Amino acid sequence: MKSWTQDVKAEIRRQLMKSSKNGGFVAKVALMMPAQTCLCVKEALKFGIFDKSTFIIAIEKEKEAVPLIEKELKRLGFLNFVVIRKEMVNINEKYLLNFINFEELDYVYLDLMGTPSNSNEKWFENVLSRFINFKTQVAVTFMNADRTNNCDWTPDIPYKFSEKEKTNTNAKKAAELVLYSLAHKGKRVIRYGRCYHNEANKAKNEDSGCPMVTFLSGFGWSQKQETHKRFAYDLGYA
């Protein structure tokens, strides 16, 4: 099998960062889950969302990946960064204040590996929301699986992630969780969103990849119906 799904992920990443451009504004402080390759950081540099002075706060739960992320950020020329070795939901407000020092985050991209959950919702509402304002762009990637939980409501988002009903409903539930959790900091809308299929991990003997959804939320009053119509829905969705 060729790396078609990796090409799709690269295109998703490119579209996400293109949609994140904010009138030439460069993020001073960014919260990321870049993994050891830091591909999202590199793409943010290309589009001018970051520059070498952007303070990168990276979250990584795997011990062996931490020094690799530090090495890559240093190689990319970042002057100030920290890699936190913790599960996202175990990072509280007091701990983040050690690094942010009451500054607000300008950009957030959390590439999560699981489905939306109670713990995700509480963390977005009780921790992340303390460090964002109406200008902060928040991007999230979730697994777009049927076991999406803590989203029992019928989502009221006039945005189309997918032409497939079930896929679209699950994606809307994930987005609703994030928008609802951050709503008290100002009205937020979906600025970009796409469903795709992650590549199977042959090293772990996985036969098929996972359905995923990536979306970008930002402050606004007018909600788009969909984005990038020219780019096919579901990008490899099985």
- The pLDDT assigned to 64 comes to 95
pLDDT average, residue stretch 124-130: 95
Is 136 within a domain? yes
For the chain, the domain total comes to 1
Question: Any idea what the CATH number is for the domain that residue 151 is in?
Answer: 3.40.50.150
Is 149 within a domain? yes
Is 213 within a domain? yes
Look up the domain containing 140 and give its range: 4-219
Please, is 170 exposed, middle or buried when counting C-beta atoms within 10 Å of its C-beta (0-12, 13-18, 19+)? buried
Question: How far apart, in whole angstroms, are the C-alpha atoms of residue 142 and residue 6?
Answer: 17
Q: What is the pLDDT of residues 21-49, one digit of tens each?
A: 877 789 999 999 999 999 999 999 999 99
pLDDT average, residue stretch 221-237: 60
Is 43 within a domain? yes
**Which pTM was predicted?**
0.89
- The pLDDT assigned to 214 comes to 93
Is 236 within a domain? no
206, 113 contact by CB (below 8 A)? no
